[in-house]
Amino acid sequence: MESAGRGRGVVTPSVGAVVLLPFPFSDLSRSKLRPAVVLADADHDDWILCQVTSNPYGDIRAVALTHLSFRQGDLHRTSFA
Protein backbone atom coordinates (compact mmCIF):
# COMPACT_ATOMS: atom_id res chain seq x y z
CA MET A 1 0.00 0.00 0.00
CA GLU A 2 1.36 3.41 -0.95
CA SER A 3 0.81 6.39 1.32
CA ALA A 4 0.55 10.09 0.63
CA GLY A 5 0.21 12.57 3.42
CA ARG A 6 1.28 13.07 7.02
CA GLY A 7 4.84 13.93 5.99
CA ARG A 8 5.61 10.62 4.33
CA GLY A 9 6.53 12.19 0.99
CA VAL A 10 4.99 12.14 -2.44
CA VAL A 11 4.68 8.94 -4.44
CA THR A 12 3.64 8.42 -8.03
CA PRO A 13 1.07 5.65 -7.76
CA SER A 14 0.59 3.04 -10.43
CA VAL A 15 -2.78 1.94 -11.77
CA GLY A 16 -4.14 -0.84 -9.56
CA ALA A 17 -2.23 0.31 -6.48
CA VAL A 18 -4.00 0.81 -3.17
CA VAL A 19 -3.03 4.18 -1.70
CA LEU A 20 -3.78 5.86 1.62
CA LEU A 21 -5.14 9.39 1.35
CA PRO A 22 -6.51 11.88 3.88
CA PHE A 23 -10.28 11.96 3.35
CA PRO A 24 -12.03 14.86 5.12
CA PHE A 25 -14.99 14.38 7.44
CA SER A 26 -18.23 15.85 6.09
CA ASP A 27 -17.92 18.93 8.33
CA LEU A 28 -14.32 19.43 7.06
CA SER A 29 -13.07 19.73 10.66
CA ARG A 30 -10.62 16.82 10.37
CA SER A 31 -9.54 14.08 8.02
CA LYS A 32 -8.66 10.40 8.31
CA LEU A 33 -6.35 8.25 6.20
CA ARG A 34 -8.45 5.92 4.06
CA PRO A 35 -7.55 3.46 1.29
CA ALA A 36 -8.41 3.98 -2.37
CA VAL A 37 -7.61 2.04 -5.56
CA VAL A 38 -5.92 3.95 -8.38
CA LEU A 39 -8.06 3.40 -11.49
CA ALA A 40 -6.33 5.69 -14.01
CA ASP A 41 -3.69 8.36 -14.50
CA ALA A 42 -5.57 11.45 -15.72
CA ASP A 43 -2.33 13.35 -16.53
CA HIS A 44 -0.94 16.50 -14.90
CA ASP A 45 -0.61 14.78 -11.49
CA ASP A 46 -4.34 13.97 -11.41
CA TRP A 47 -5.60 10.46 -10.67
CA ILE A 48 -8.98 8.72 -10.82
CA LEU A 49 -9.56 6.79 -7.60
CA CYS A 50 -12.19 4.50 -6.13
CA GLN A 51 -12.79 4.39 -2.40
CA VAL A 52 -12.16 1.15 -0.54
CA THR A 53 -14.36 0.23 2.41
CA SER A 54 -14.83 -2.81 4.61
CA ASN A 55 -18.60 -2.18 4.52
CA PRO A 56 -20.29 -3.43 1.29
CA TYR A 57 -23.47 -1.38 1.93
CA GLY A 58 -25.44 -4.10 0.13
CA ASP A 59 -24.34 -2.80 -3.30
CA ILE A 60 -24.37 -5.72 -5.75
CA ARG A 61 -21.86 -3.82 -7.93
CA ALA A 62 -19.25 -3.68 -5.15
CA VAL A 63 -16.07 -5.56 -6.03
CA ALA A 64 -14.70 -7.67 -3.18
CA LEU A 65 -10.99 -7.26 -2.44
CA THR A 66 -9.47 -10.21 -0.57
CA HIS A 67 -5.88 -11.29 0.07
CA LEU A 68 -6.09 -13.08 -3.31
CA SER A 69 -6.66 -9.72 -5.04
CA PHE A 70 -3.07 -8.58 -4.51
CA ARG A 71 0.28 -9.75 -5.88
CA GLN A 72 1.92 -8.34 -2.78
CA GLY A 73 0.60 -6.72 0.36
CA ASP A 74 -2.88 -7.10 1.75
CA LEU A 75 -5.72 -5.27 3.43
CA HIS A 76 -6.49 -6.14 7.05
CA ARG A 77 -9.91 -7.56 6.13
CA THR A 78 -12.06 -8.29 3.11
CA SER A 79 -12.93 -4.91 1.63
CA PHE A 80 -14.98 -3.55 -1.26
CA ALA A 81 -14.43 -1.07 -4.07
Can you tell me the distance from the alpha carbon of 25 to that of 36, in angstroms, rounded to the nearest whole number? 16
Q: How many CA atoms lie within 13 A of 49 on its CB side?
A: 18
pLDDT bracket for residue 6 (50, 70, 90) = low
Task: Give the model confidence (pLDDT) of 27-79 as tens digits.
Answer: 999 999 999 999 999 988 899 999 998 887 778 888 888 887 877 777 788 89
Domain-wise residue ranges, the chain:
2-80
